[in-house]
Structure 1
């Protein structure tokens, strides 16, 4: 009987996609289900087939097989039990893609603990917020980050080094999972949040099943693809669409480890003969900006992007370089991917600039302020029908007469920079910790490379100057993360306020737009 992976046409997706068809792709069922088994263990057949290809920033390639990951994850699961870890305990890890990262990720889920991947460039404040929220029993990290993490009380820090890997060798290479489909498996943090204290998005094991609609129709992934996603697996795109989705289908995936370099990425795409690439919009923009894409040979026949809209110049670069349509994939950590462009579907027209159409089975609507459906071409708030009510995506959009949707900006104060979601509130709160800062307001401003960057407006009695601005930038990035800081700083006498006394960021945005115009 055909499976969903046997179909590639848009019309077939609308006809055959169903909840039961998704479950048919897996070993588990609605009662018993484990992500680690579905992604790793069931594909470990002794052939040492590649599961993950890692392009390290220093030029090294690292290939991890399904067999090696299955054995490592099983040993890690046994090791966790020996440490007194119980199902439901949180295991956090702050590691670049590597053997310890994947062993930790899948080993924790295998024995019923909850995996909590964390961005490796978090500073002490950014890490503390998330540790306070999820209260992990263990934090697995490298030696450098472990020294910082040990400043946090109540967290046991374990260094993922050769000594730990040798210790794992003494444990059995097989583990039988006992998790239920509705048991929690992953706590996922956004790269920023509209709250000062970030809350985790909590995913069960069965979330892998729901994910597959977006994987099949957002990235177009199918068995036989040679897949690559350079996004960090600490974030939603890199974890769910760069790691779990391809592995669940037995597809070899690729990723980037270390400081990103566009030339190194293109070298990996050539060397691994990648046929399906899914990346953030900024990754494509940075490849374009090198001016050297013509020096590499590419094999790509499906291509998708997420995180933000792509500018016209980068779209032109993609079409000229890869000669396939650039397929947008839209969603958030909280709601998942909901709009796709069906990469590889011969009967689906990709419209430049469009977010595409809904994932099969989902209902989205652009609404006016009174909750009524907006007419074609009219900008309104993009809403998702979920659990018998309309839920906001916090984005503005418009639809055309054919049902394609277009992004029209954020409905809140979130800033999307190079694919990362940053919170104006969180950056402001950190800036206000500086002894010389009286008031701070942060907005997103356009940037040719990153799409948007954060700009801070500072009220201070201290004399303005470039050295002071650099000090504030470093002050913020050291406490949040290496990407989450204001790249532009303006010193002002006062900030615009609402009648209630709150900072009026809308006025700042309008002033900034007028100044640029």
Structure 2
């Protein structure tokens, strides 16, 4: 068993000790497990060097690494040279020392990925943010993480410059100015010796979206980055060197960082990085680049199937389709399977735990469930006091594995980590054979006249109606019943908005008390930049009439 508490951390290579100094107290750490042989990492470990330099040694420098529409493909050797030149700029020109936080911002491109790897090799701490983040959000993240350096796509500089972060030094890339990172890097050596960081030195700070409050910075170690590849990537995804990855999540979202950078590089595979990666862009990209591994959200799978030109795209190169970010309804799973013959790999992950920890693939998939604990991870269902609940009884999903929640100086650590487990905020049921079935977010359970109504179950029923393309069910206060279920529905183009017909359809699918009392038709559901449904906006006064 590996060390599990801050008191037993290895000597740090960070000269800037801010991150380690602000780890949660030892008593607030979750238990960690390293019961797979592949998770026993050496004390000195740099994940950037492992993902890039070690992969070049294993597979050679000539293999393709990153593709980008309209640009030449980068080989692993070209990527390595670019990363090492950027690392020299960081340390030689910008004065970045190990442990400094470096904010990364821009569309999903090979150069942004190279910047992330360079920060890793230089011993810095990457703070990768969404390109859509606004100045106030950026200022808050810079304040929380005390960021003083930023590498930013020249097209995304304006909002970062407007952020109230007076000590932030911004270095653009992809522009034509004399201080542009690409120009500074051009004269540097293509060889850089990675900083020998400790396996438990902080490598990245990933911020939650902050849509309902102040963002939380989730600190992850160098070993954590490899652990997600050596659990989900190796044992569920089973990536091969010949795979071509792509997907919709940006690199500022840990779902995207894992799916588009960490997993392919760990396997010696390549990734197609798309600046625009909505469903309309994914279909032609899959066909043109013969993509074999796809990462996206449930809505994208349904939207691609509804595309009138679906039949004109050749998607036969796909062999792995991963869905996460929100629950995958059984109806969506079956629709994709019927159209493609592919079994979507459903999964649940969290920014706090970096990536997916419950999932299943191939014959182990059971539509309507999330799956089983990923090898290397453990899960149980608990009540509010931490007691394990019997199979079949809904409760809180608690998870333990090689990665644990470590908020950056945030009192909400005590909410997420309870009784030594990471408590994700999801209500689940464990079936007698060990499968975990999603019920609702813990705060999304609708209690109406004493009945528990799980919004996702009602959504799944609505989505089985041929006219419904999206659905979200939320609770609204009601003087008589406490709450009533309100369904917000998006219909296919040209469909008639008939709430009574939809209500009768749901009553035929579910027991009557689960039928929405009200149905509201919307042109689109509110979502974050990463495609995650913003249920809280549907609960706001005036949003649902």
In structure 2, relative to structure 1, the CA distance for the partners of 1:169 and 1:94 (3 Å cut) is same
Structure 1 residue 49 corresponds to structure 2 residue 59:
no
- The alpha-carbon deviation at position 199 of structure 1 amounts to 2.4
- The alpha-carbon deviation at position 490 of structure 1 amounts to 6.8
Contact 2:284/2:313, CA 8 A, preserved across alignment? yes
SS at match of 1:198: coil
Contact 1:304/1:343, CA 8 A, preserved across alignment? no
Q: Distance in 1 between matches of 2:225 and 2:72?
A: 26
Contact 1:220/1:343, CA 8 A, preserved across alignment? no
Q: 1:154 aligns with which of 167, 170, 187?
A: 167
- The alpha-carbon deviation at position 300 of structure 1 amounts to 1.7
Contact 2:67/2:110, CA 8 A, preserved across alignment? no
SS at match of 2:424: strand
SS at match of 1:355: coil
Deviations 1:285-310 (A, max 9, x none): 22123133221112222222111122
Contact 1:263/1:287, CA 8 A, preserved across alignment? yes
In structure 2, relative to structure 1, the CA distance for the partners of 1:325 and 1:64 (3 Å cut) is same
- The alpha-carbon deviation at position 78 of structure 1 amounts to 0.8
Q: Distance in 2 between matches of 1:331 and 1:389?
A: 18
Residue 287 (structure 1) aligns with: 304
Q: Distance in 2 between matches of 1:444 and 1:227?
A: 38
Q: Distance in 2 between matches of 1:269 and 1:221?
A: 17
Q: Distance in 2 between matches of 1:444 and 1:120?
A: 33
Contact 2:220/2:354, CA 8 A, preserved across alignment? no
Q: Distance in 2 between matches of 1:62 and 1:334?
A: 35
- The alpha-carbon deviation at position 383 of structure 1 amounts to 1.6
Residue 408 (structure 1) aligns with: 439
Which residues of structure 2 form unaligned runs of 5+?
Answer: 1-33, 405-418, 446-454, 460-473, 475-484, 492-524
Q: Distance in 2 between matches of 1:261 and 1:391?
A: 32
Q: 1:30 aligns with which of 31, 42, 61?
A: 42
Residue 80 (structure 1) aligns with: 90
Q: Distance in 1 between matches of 2:361 and 2:111?
A: 32
Residue 356 (structure 1) aligns with: 371
Residue 64 (structure 1) aligns with: 74
In structure 2, relative to structure 1, the CA distance for the partners of 1:413 and 1:76 (3 Å cut) is farther
In structure 2, relative to structure 1, the CA distance for the partners of 1:306 and 1:477 (3 Å cut) is closer
Q: Distance in 1 between matches of 2:354 and 2:158?
A: 34
Structure 1 residue 93 corresponds to structure 2 residue 108:
no
- The alpha-carbon deviation at position 231 of structure 1 amounts to 1.3
- The alpha-carbon deviation at position 357 of structure 1 amounts to 0.4
Q: 1:311 aligns with which of 312, 318, 329?
A: 329
SS at match of 1:87: coil
Q: Which moved more, 1:80-89 or 1:153-162?
A: 153-162
Q: Distance in 2 between matches of 1:342 and 1:74?
A: 37
Which residues of structure 1 form unaligned runs of 5+?
Answer: 1-16, 24-28, 418-423, 425-442, 450-472, 493-507
Residue 220 (structure 1) aligns with: 238
Contact 1:123/1:477, CA 8 A, preserved across alignment? no
Deviations 1:448-488 (A, max 9, x none): 59xxxxxxxxxxxxxxxxxxxxxxx99x999x999979876
In structure 2, relative to structure 1, the CA distance for the partners of 1:111 and 1:225 (3 Å cut) is same
In structure 2, relative to structure 1, the CA distance for the partners of 1:200 and 1:43 (3 Å cut) is same
Report the aligned-residue RMSD: 3.6
SS at match of 1:265: helix
Q: 2:117 aligns with which of 100, 106, 113?
A: 106
Residue 378 (structure 1) aligns with: 393
Q: Distance in 1 between matches of 2:238 and 2:531?
A: 32
Q: 1:39 aligns with which of 24, 42, 51?
A: 51
Deviations 1:107-159 (A, max 9, x none): 11111111111100011122111111112221222334322222322211222
- Superposed, 1:368-517 pairs within 5 Å as 368-385=383-400, 389-412=420-443, 446-448=488-490
Residue 470 (structure 1) aligns with: none
- Superposed, 1:199-214 pairs within 5 Å as 199-211=216-228, 212-214=230-232
- The alpha-carbon deviation at position 320 of structure 1 amounts to 2.1
TM-score normalised to the size of structure 1?
Answer: 0.72
- The alpha-carbon deviation at position 412 of structure 1 amounts to 3.5
In structure 2, relative to structure 1, the CA distance for the partners of 1:371 and 1:327 (3 Å cut) is same
Residue 319 (structure 2) aligns with: 301
